[in-house]
Structure 1
Amino acid sequence: MKRIKAACITQTIHFINKDITKSEYSKRKVQEEITRYKHRLDRERTKYKILSEEVEEDGFVFVQNILKEPI
């Protein structure tokens, strides 16, 4: 008999500017949103590993991570 001890989910999250402008303010807001996302994972004590974080020239950011949750 086998039992599952933990499950992993691979996510790719696309953080985008809500504004059409490519200003520094918009880019900073995207970075703040990413920081809030990481703090929320830490606060909820979610085990995670960031595989890649790609920043596009227009301020869009792709974050690929693995979430590991005990069952």
Structure 2
Amino acid sequence: TVTTIKPGFVQTRLLENAEKTFWVLSPDQAAVQILAAVKQKKQVAYTPARWGLVMLIIRHIPSFIFRRLSI
């Protein structure tokens, strides 16, 4: 089984100079969630999991509205 991991923000050097970010995971937290997803044989896993809900909502926004959003 292949698991596609779609990570959110992980507290690494990449984020040191970043402006405000939210739902930031430590590398250890991200690793635990990723390993759990692989063990559960999920096809796709978001870390943190709440990003999955956000992406579900975004996927259902009509494209003409989405293009006007600054995301």
Greater relative contact order (CA < 8 Å, ≥ 6 in sequence): 1
Fold match (TM-score > 0.5): no
What TM-score, normalized by structure 2, do the two folds share? 0.28
TM-score (norm 1): 0.28
Larger strand fraction of residues:
1
